[in-house]
Each structure stands twice: as C-alpha cells, then as structure tokens.
C-alpha cells in the first residue's frame, strides 16, 4: 500500500510538471502564432494597398505618356516658322511650346492672339522651361519610349506638369518641345475613372504639393493603422497617394480581438489547466485516503471477526471435550460464546447494512410505531453484555410519547451502535444513560457515557465512513469505523439527524432526533439528507435543529 502510494506520488511528481510545461509551451506558441497571424494579415493588407497604388500610378502614367507621345510625334518644326500650323490638341494637353537650340520659345500653341495675354503666357513658359534639364535628354524617336521627361512642381501656387522632349529638324538642327499637361482633367477625370475600376474596398486620396486633397476625402487619424502612403509615381512625383481599407474600424476591431485572444490565451488556459490539475490532485488525494481507510477497515473487520470466532471456538471446544469444572463454569463458557456470537452478528449486521448503503441500495421499511418499545427491546439485547462489563445502565423514558414513522430494525441498529460505543469508549465500570423524550417536532434518543470524550477537532469526522478517532487507535479498541456513519445515515433517512456533545475527559452524549409521525412525512421532504459536520456540542445536520436537542439546554 505504502509502496503503491509512493509510486503514485512519483508518477504525479513527473506527470504534473510535464503537463504544466507542455501547457506553458502550448500557450506560448499559441500566443506567438496569434501575434504573427495578426501581423501577417496586416502585412498582406498593406501589400494589397501598395499593389493597388502602383497599379493606379501605372495606369495614369501611361495615359500621360500616351498624350505626350502623340504630341511629340505630331509636332514637327522646320527651324523657320514662328508658329506651328493650326493643330488639334488632345484634351490632356493645355498648351505646348517649341524652343530652338538656344532655348528661345519659337512657337506657342494654342496661339494667344491678345498681345498682353500672349506676353503673360510667354513669361510663364519662360519660367517653366528654366527648370527643365534639356541636356540630359536623348533625341526623341517614335520607336524608343521614354526619351522624354517630366517636371512637376508648383508655379505661382499652382501645380504644373510639363512633359518635354528633344527633337531634330530635317536639317539636323536641335529643337525642343515642352507640353503643359491638363492637371485638372487628370485629377478630376482620369484618376477617378481608373480608381473606380480598381478600388471597391479601399479609399484612395491624392494630396498635392501642399498636402491638399485633390482626389478623395482627407483621411482622419483613425484611418492610419492600415494606411499606405507614397509619392504618385515618377511623373506626378510632387503628389502623394494614400490608400486605406474602407472598413478600418472593423479591421481594427478584428485585430484587437485577435490580439486579446492571443494575450488571454495564456492566462485562461493556464487557469483551466491549473484548476483541472487541482481537481485531479484533490480527487487522487481523496481516493488515496478512501483506499487507505478501506484497507484499514478490512484489517479492522478481519480482526473483529477473528477475535470472537477464536473465543467461540476455544470455549466451544472446552465445552465439547468436557474440560470444565462444574456447571457454573460451563454456564460461564456458554455465556462467553453467546456474548461473542452476539458481537459477531452485530458486526455482520453493521457490515451488511453498510455495504448496502455504499452500493446505494439501503432501503428502509417505514411503519408507524413506538420508539420506546424498540429502545426497550434493544436494551434487553445488550443488557447481558453490560452486566458482564460491569456497566450500569440508566434509562429515562418519558411516558405517552407520540408515534414515529420508522424502520424498527434500523432504529435497533442505531441504539446498539451507540450503546456499543458507550461501552467501548466509556469509563470502565462506568454508567451509560439512555434517554428518550419528547422535543419540539419529534423524539430525541440520547446515549451518554462518562468516558474520555472526543477531541473537538475530531467530532466532525467521526461520522465519516471508516474514520476512527485517536482515542480508538491509541487504546487499541476494537472497531470498524462504520457504526456512526450508519447511525447518521439511518437518522437522516428518517428525516432526523444525529448530534454529538462531548468534552474531552467528561464523556460524550450522542443524540438522535426522529420526527413524530404526523410531522415525519413533511419533515422528510423539507429536510432531505442533513449531513453537515459538527463541532463541540454542534449538530450533524441542520444547525437550526440545535434547539430541538434535549441534551443541551
Ligand atoms: P468504531 O467501530 O471504531 O467504534 P464508529 O463509527 O462507531 O466506529 O465510531 C467512530 C469513532 O468515533 C470511534 O473509532 C471512536 O474513536 C469515536 N467514538 C465513537 N463513540 C464514542 C464515544 N462514546 N466516546 C468516545 N469516542 C467515541
């Protein structure tokens, strides 16, 4: 038993830390996974934003390039004329100029007939072309895309986009073409057109050089968690594009839930595991205690059986072989055999009843009857033993007691157990008082001895199955530890209860309350199975019933 207990402890000592370590590792990796998953989903969202921005930029850029390309192809200069022939401009181009080798504006298109306005426009163009990097341009050819450049910047507070290319006359003279693109058209029509086809679940905002929104509603601070922002490509490089999902609030809530789940995962799973392990540990402890008590019980019962049996055998043999001196001694031997067989049958009754109770099959046959008669009969049974043990018995039974609903055999067992204990644990040659009296609601049967009593700390536990208090163990008193648990069960099955009042050194009084017959049915229903423990003078069962205890005032 001890070896098995040690083995179980060793297994637990290995298994519990292993489970805790595994749980901690699982919770940790679960948390890491949740955090990674949330940052992965954010990254993929941001990647989606970026791809969308690049696509939109590409599409706008290629529309601009297309307009530039067509213009540069169309414009031909012979190196002579001041103005070009009248030509149809694409809506994407506001105006263009042709500059000679010395960067003098030779042509302005569309022409401005009003001289003052023409001068103004020419001055503006002078301003624009100042910043252009002509030298870096390769001569324009229609088959080689990209040999033109763009300038995008603020002039007089307005955003201006200039596309420019270097060309050659038929005579091989260099000249330049610079076109001013129609930015309002690009912002108001081209970008929305392209964006409509691309972004359903996203908001697109284009900011100009001074961060004014020229496409889309400006974003608020709450839109920033999933915001992608970049320059609007290589052409409209002074502008910025911002892209954010439309359902930012939903995504933020989702991310927060994921984060919370990840963070809560550790403590919650740890608590669950700790509680689970605690429950397992308590169950194992209770089971171990029960199995220890059971093996004690088996040892006690075997011992209890063995002693009377060997006495019966010994005195039976003495009688059978005639090895006794006279009639008186033979009667004494026969008395011993009777007493021991009574003890034996009492023990067997207890064990059988207890076994039925343990299997949940204890059944009682209730009938109305007089408890005083049952008490008298039970006392007759033990009178012989009491006389032998030189114990005086005092009975105080009130007259005209009400009927009670009871199982007479069970009530006999109650009294036999209480008297048996009073004899076993009471003072040698002492006195046992059995009282039966009326109390509010029923009858109280009490058995009092003048023995050593029971320590307060143990009073609650003596009603547990197999429990034997230190007085029994120390004095090596024979017993099985099931008597009082049977008494308690029987009392409760009758709708009553059992209480103990004991002071170490001053004896003990056990009181069993049984409801009177008319109250009994209601009493059973109202107070099913009172079981709680008791301290010194406390009740086993409902504390309210203390008032009914006749032993105490
Ligand atoms: P047992 O077979 O050991 O007597 P019980 O269930 O009848 O089992 O009693 C449980 C324990 O309660 C006993 O072992 C004993 O320690 C204690 N006990 C019972 N009755 C008395 C009493 N009258 N005086 C002192 N101790 C008692």
Q: Whose CA is nearest to atom 19 of ligand 1?
A: 421
pLDDT bin (cut points 50, 70, 90) of residue 34 is confident
Q: Whose CA is nearest to atom 21 of ligand 1?
A: 421
Distance 107 CA to ligand 1 centre (A): 125
pLDDT at 220: 80
Tell me: pLDDT of 67 over 70: yes
Q: How far apart are CA 294 and CA 467, in angstroms?
A: 10
Highest mean pLDDT among 82-86, 197-201, 382-386: 382-386
Q: Tell which atom from ligand 1 comes closest to the C-alpha of 470.
A: 16
Locate tokens 């690049």: which residue?
Answer: 54
Q: Tell which atom from ligand 1 comes closest to the C-alpha of 300.
A: 2
Distance 24 CA to ligand 1 centre (A): 48
Query: CB of 109 within 8 A of CB of 136?
Result: no
Q: How far apart are CA 425 and CA 405, in angstroms?
A: 31
pLDDT bin (cut points 50, 70, 90) of residue 293 is confident
Query: CB of 508 within 8 A of CB of 501?
Result: yes
The sign of the dihedral angle between the CA atoms of 536, 541, 546, 552 is negative
Highest mean pLDDT among 141-155, 291-305, 337-351, 489-503: 489-503
Q: Whose CA is nearest to atom 17 of ligand 1?
A: 469
Q: Is the peptide bond between 110 and the residue preceding it cis, with omega within 30 degrees of 0?
A: yes
451 Ramachandran zone, left/alpha/beta (phi>0; psi -120 to 50): beta
Distance 406 CA to ligand 1 centre (A): 24
pLDDT at 521: 44
Distance 507 CA to ligand 1 centre (A): 12
**What is the reported pTM?**
0.50
Distance 467 CA to ligand 1 centre (A): 8
Share of the chain above pLDDT 70, in %: 90
pLDDT bin (cut points 50, 70, 90) of residue 254 is confident
**Test site for ligand 1: of 417, 449, 454, most ligand atoms within 8 A of the Cβ:** 454
The strand pairing partners of 503, in sequence order, are none
Tell me: pLDDT of 537 over 70: no
Q: How far apart are CA 100 and CA 85, in angstroms?
A: 17
Q: How far apart are CA 443 and CA 436, in angstroms?
A: 7
Q: Whose CA is nearest to atom 23 of ligand 1?
A: 422
Q: Whose CA is nearest to atom 12 of ligand 1?
A: 462
pLDDT at 491: 95
pLDDT 10s digits, 119-171: 999 999 999 998 888 888 888 887 766 678 899 999 988 999 999 999 888 88
The sign of the dihedral angle between the CA atoms of 217, 223, 224, 229 is negative
**In 3D, which of 480, 483, 533, 487 has the Cα closest to residue 513?**
487
Distance 542 CA to ligand 1 centre (A): 22
Mean pLDDT estimate for the chain: 83
pLDDT 10s digits, 385-427: 788 788 999 999 999 999 999 999 899 989 999 999 999 898 7
Q: Tell which atom from ligand 1 comes closest to the C-alpha of 480.
A: 2
Phi, psi at 246, each rounded to 5°: -70, -40
**In 3D, which of 474, 533, 477 has the Cα closest to residue 500?**
533
Number of helices followed by number of strands (H, E) in the chain:
12, 17
pLDDT at 530: 35
Question: If you average pLDDT over residues 420-442, what whole number do you get?
Answer: 91
Distance 3 CA to ligand 1 centre (A): 29
The strand pairing partners of 99, in sequence order, are 105, 176
Lowest mean pLDDT among 303-307, 370-374, 485-489: 303-307
Task: Give, for 60, the enclosing helix (H) or strand (E).
Answer: helix 2-74
Pocket of ligand 1 (CB under 6 A): 417, 421-422, 425, 449, 451, 454, 462, 467-469, 471-472, 479-485, 508
**Test site for ligand 1: of 462, 464, 473, 482, most ligand atoms within 8 A of the Cβ:** 462
Distance 85 CA to ligand 1 centre (A): 128
Distance 540 CA to ligand 1 centre (A): 15
**In 3D, which of 428, 432, 453, 446 has the Cα closest to residue 499?**
446
Buried b (16+ CB within 10 A) or exposed e, 296-318: bbeebbeebbeebeebbeebeeb
The sign of the dihedral angle between the CA atoms of 246, 249, 254, 259 is positive
**In 3D, which of 165, 163, 206 has the Cα closest to residue 57?**
206
For the record, the structure tokens of 227 come out as 């915001």
Q: How far apart are CA 264 and CA 30, in angstroms?
A: 10
Query: CB of 344 within 8 A of CB of 338?
Result: no
Query: CB of 96 within 8 A of CB of 71?
Result: yes
Lowest mean pLDDT among 144-153, 472-481, 512-521: 512-521
Q: How far apart are CA 306 and CA 468, in angstroms?
A: 19
Concatenated DSSP letters of 375-407: HHHHHHHHHHHHHHTT-EEEEEE-SSPPPEEE-
**In 3D, which of 493, 503, 502, 506 has the Cα closest to residue 539?**
502
**Test site for ligand 1: of 484, 502, 540, most ligand atoms within 8 A of the Cβ:** 484
Distance 309 CA to ligand 1 centre (A): 22
Q: Tell which atom from ligand 1 comes closest to the C-alpha of 482.
A: 6
Distance 226 CA to ligand 1 centre (A): 76
> Directed axis angle between helix 371-388 and helix 326-358, to 10°?
130
> Who wins on pLDDT, 147 or 59?
59
**Test site for ligand 1: of 298, 466, 469, most ligand atoms within 8 A of the Cβ:** 469
């Amino acid at each position: 038993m001890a070896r098995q207990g040690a083995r179980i402890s060793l297994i637990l000592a290995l298994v519990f830390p292993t489970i805790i370590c595994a749980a901690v590792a699982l919770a940790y990796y679960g948390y890491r996974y949740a955090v990674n998953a949330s940052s992965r989903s954010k990254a993929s969202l941001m990647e989606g934003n970026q791809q969308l921005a690049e696509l939109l930029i590409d599409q706008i850029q290629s529309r601009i390039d297309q307009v530039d390309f067509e213009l540069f192809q169309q414009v031909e200069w012979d190196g002579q004329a001041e103005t070009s022939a009248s030509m149809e401009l694409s809506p994407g181009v506001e105006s263009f100029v042709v500059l000679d080798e010395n960067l003098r504006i030779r042509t302005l298109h569309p022409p401005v007939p009003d001289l003052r306005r023409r001068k103004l426009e020419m001055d503006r163009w002078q301003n624009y072309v100042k910043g252009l990097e002509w030298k870096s341009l390769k001569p324009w050819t229609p088959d080689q895309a990209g040999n033109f450049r763009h300038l995008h910047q603020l002039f007089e507070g307005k955003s201006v986009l200039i596309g420019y290319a270097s060309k050659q006359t038929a005579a091989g003279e260099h000249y330049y073409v610079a076109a001013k693109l129609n930015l309002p058209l690009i912002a108001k029509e081209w970008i929305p057109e392209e964006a409509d086809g691309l972004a359903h679940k996203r908001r697109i905002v284009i900011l100009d050089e001074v961060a004014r929104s020229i496409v889309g509603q400006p974003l608020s601070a709450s839109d920033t968690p999933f915001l992608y922002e970049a320059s609007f490509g290589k052409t409209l490089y002074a502008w910025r594009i911002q892209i954010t999902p439309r359902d930012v609030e939903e995504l933020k809530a989702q991310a927060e839930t994921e984060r919370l789940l990840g963070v809560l995962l550790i403590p919650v799973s740890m608590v669950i595991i700790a509680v689970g392990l605690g429950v397992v540990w308590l169950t194992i402890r209770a089971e171990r205690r029960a199995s220890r008590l059971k093996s004690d019980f088996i040892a006690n019962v075997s011992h209890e059986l063995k002693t009377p049996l060997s006495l019966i055998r010994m005195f039976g043999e003495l009688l059978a072989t005639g090895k006794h001196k006279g009639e008186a001694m033979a009667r004494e031997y026969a008395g011993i055999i009777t007493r021991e067989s009574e003890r034996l049958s009492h023990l067997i009754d207890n064990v059988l009843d207890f076994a039925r109770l343990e299997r949940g099959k204890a059944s009682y046959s209730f009938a109305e009857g007089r408890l005083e008669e049952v008490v008298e009969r039970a006392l007759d049974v033990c009178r012989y033993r009491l006389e032998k043990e030189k114990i005086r018995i005092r009975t105080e039974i009130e007259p005209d007691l009400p009927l009670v609903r009871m199982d007479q055999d069970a009530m006999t067992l109650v009294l036999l157990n209480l008297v048996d204990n009073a004899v076993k644990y009471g003072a040698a040659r002492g006195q046992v008082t059995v009282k039966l009296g009326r109390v509010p609601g029923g009858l109280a049967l009490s058995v009092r001895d003048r023995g050593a009593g029971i320590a307060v700390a143990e009073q609650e536990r003596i009603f547990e199955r197999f429990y034997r208090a230190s007085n029994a163990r120390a004095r090596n008193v024979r017993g099985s530890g099931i008597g009082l648990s049977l008494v308690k069960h029987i009392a409760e099955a009758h709708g009553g209860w059992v209480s103990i009042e004991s002071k170490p050194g001053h004896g003990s009084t056990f009181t069993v309350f049984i409801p009177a017959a008319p109250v009994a049915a209601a009493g059973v229903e109202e107070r099913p199975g009172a079981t709680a423990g008791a301290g010194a003078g406390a009740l086993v069962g409902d504390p309210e019933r203390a008032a009914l205890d006749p032993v105490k005032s």
